[in-house]
Amino acid sequence: MNMIIGKKQIVLASLVLILGIAIYLNWQFANSDDALGVADILGGNSTGSQATYGEAELVNTDDNYFANARLEKQKTRDAATETLAGLLEKTDLSAEEKASATAQALQTAQLMESETTIENLVKAKGFEDCIAYLDSENAKVVVKSEELDAAQAAQIKDIIVSETAVDPSNIVVTPVK
């Protein structure tokens, strides 16, 4: 047998090696202690108790909190967008189902735009960093601040109310160091 190693075999072996390294690194980063869950990102309010406007809970965290939160938020939005895009691509859907999927996609896009606007306006009020989470009924805003007084919370609430149709009683503002 003639064993000649050609360019194709070298390229294939290199790609397999790179894929193996990528899988290993992904596994390492996924299992690290720095990974945040959705409950961590939203302020850890997983006990079911309803927080009210003006009450704030100080969360201790490292400098990577906002970067990790943005990454998790983007992953969630990307997954939702892919799901909606998959629904819209199906040809066996009725006109009503396509209209519903289109309306959902439009609402998601509007929420993403509102979140970005709220984040920018809150930063313009003097906060170092901010991340906003919106759905059709609730608004959660996490700001980088040692403390949050009533006037600052009122400013943030005013921004949210002016940008969305969220009821003021469904707004939660959380300061993070």
pLDDT one-digit tens code per residue, 93-142: 788 887 887 888 888 888 888 889 999 999 998 888 999 999 888 999 99
The per-residue pLDDT for 59 is 52
Summarize pLDDT for 44-98 with one digit per residue, the tens: 444 444 445 555 555 545 557 888 888 888 888 888 878 877 777 777 778 888 7
The answer to pTM > 0.85 is no
Burial class (CB within 10 angstroms; exposed 0-12, middle 13-18, buried 19+) of 161: middle
The per-residue pLDDT for 2 is 56
SS3 132: strand
What is the mean pLDDT of the segment spanning 21-30? 85
Nearest Cα to 144, choosing from 69, 75, 71? 69
SS3 76: helix
The span from the CA of 112 to the CA of 28, in Å, is 30
Packing angle, helices 150-163 and 95-124, rounded to 10: 150
Q: Tell me which of 45 and 2 has the higher pLDDT.
A: 2
**CA pseudo-torsion sign 17, 23, 24, 29:** positive
The per-residue pLDDT for 73 is 86
